[in-house]
Amino acid sequence: MRYIDHHAHMVSRTTDDYHQMALTGCVAVTEPAFWPGWDRLSAAGFEDYFRHITDFEPKRAAKYGIQHYCWLCLNPKEGEDRELAREVLARIPRYLECPTVLGLGEIGVNRVTRNEVETFHDHVALALEHNQLILIHTPHLEDKWKGTRVIIEALLQRSELKPGRVLIDHAEEHTIEMILENGFWTGLTLYPQTKVSLSRAADMIEMYGSERICVASACDWGASLPLAVPEFVLEMRRRGHSEALIDKVVYQNTVEFLGQSPNFRLQG
């Protein structure tokens, strides 16, 4: 088994988690910038966070033979504060120079407010200006369908944007079709309690096939499993799926999407 977890908030995880991920075949993780569970008060707080995920975390992962990449942004929740957004966005271009940064993410919307949507547009503009890949967070629970719709409509307004350079994450049964049919990549992120379970993710692969779909753990500071991807592999094997299909959705697809960034250089 080999896999890449494209959605792992490793700043919230222990070195034991890296160890277990390495033992189960994880070769690389990508860490989207996100909400730490509490609101930061200043752009300087983000600056330290960006240093954390571009410098410290790759070194910590390397001790376990795992490559660590990241995505930068001001997250959808804090994007409500337009002044803070302006200050944080101004600081991002400097960090795009770091060798392990893959693009802008996870940008998106949370409660789908006007301010959040404006901040989302600013991030997309920044990504296009710097020719960066985009990783998108879609809201959970009752805002999922509406938020995904708003995001897709905003992206389709930009004729210069190539859908194949965007991954719209946290897809569910009622949003996966609209994501895929518009040419975007999508992510199925696995959770132990709420949101997408192992079996729902396997069901979606069975229903929608394996093209442009990547499976990840979305492990963070909340209830989540850093080993969700190997658990998903076991679920797929239990159902009798081929190793080739499993490898495609936990490794090869992810390599294909991330490989569009010149900074993604898989070793071995």
Residues that bind Zn ion (CB under 5 A): 34
Task: Tell me how far apart the alpha carbons of residues 124 and 162 are, in angstroms, rounded to a whole number.
Answer: 12
State which residue, 64 or 221, has the beta carbon closest to Zn ion.
221
φ, ψ of residue 216 to 5 degrees: the values are: -145, 170
φ, ψ of residue 81 to 5 degrees: the values are: -85, 100
State which residue, 34 or 49, has the beta carbon closest to Zn ion.
34
What is residue 173's three-state secondary structure? coil
State which residue, 214 or 246, has the beta carbon closest to Zn ion.
214
φ, ψ of residue 181 to 5 degrees: the values are: -70, -15
State which residue, 21 or 246, has the beta carbon closest to Zn ion.
21
Report the nearest approach of Zn ion to the CB of residue 256 (Å).
Answer: 21
Report the nearest approach of Zn ion to the CB of residue 164 (Å).
Answer: 22
φ, ψ of residue 133 to 5 degrees: the values are: -70, 160
Task: Tell me how far apart the alpha carbons of residues 200 and 84 are, in angstroms, rounded to a whole number.
Answer: 37
Task: Tell me how far apart the alpha carbons of residues 190 and 172 are, in angstroms, rounded to a whole number.
Answer: 11
Task: Tell me how far apart the alpha carbons of residues 238 and 83 are, in angstroms, rounded to a whole number.
Answer: 50
Report the nearest approach of Zn ion to the CB of residue 88 (Å).
Answer: 17
State which residue, 67 or 217, has the beta carbon closest to Zn ion.
217
Task: Tell me how far apart the alpha carbons of residues 35 and 54 are, in angstroms, rounded to a whole number.
Answer: 16
Q: Which residue has the tokens 């009798």?
A: 240
State which residue, 58 or 105, has the beta carbon closest to Zn ion.
105
Report the nearest approach of Zn ion to the CB of residue 212 (Å).
Answer: 19
With beta carbons less than 8 A apart as the criterion, state whether 70 and 33 touch.
yes
Report the nearest approach of Zn ion to the CB of residue 75 (Å).
Answer: 8
In the bound state, the residue with its beta carbon closest to Zn ion is 34
State which residue, 137 or 165, has the beta carbon closest to Zn ion.
137
Report the nearest approach of Zn ion to the CB of residue 108 (Å).
Answer: 10
Task: Tell me how far apart the alpha carbons of residues 10 and 164 are, in angstroms, rounded to a whole number.
Answer: 26
Q: Residue ranges of the alpha helices (H) in 63-132?
A: 82-95, 114-129
**Residue 202, both tokens:** 């396997």
Report the nearest approach of Zn ion to the CB of residue 268 (Å).
Answer: 27
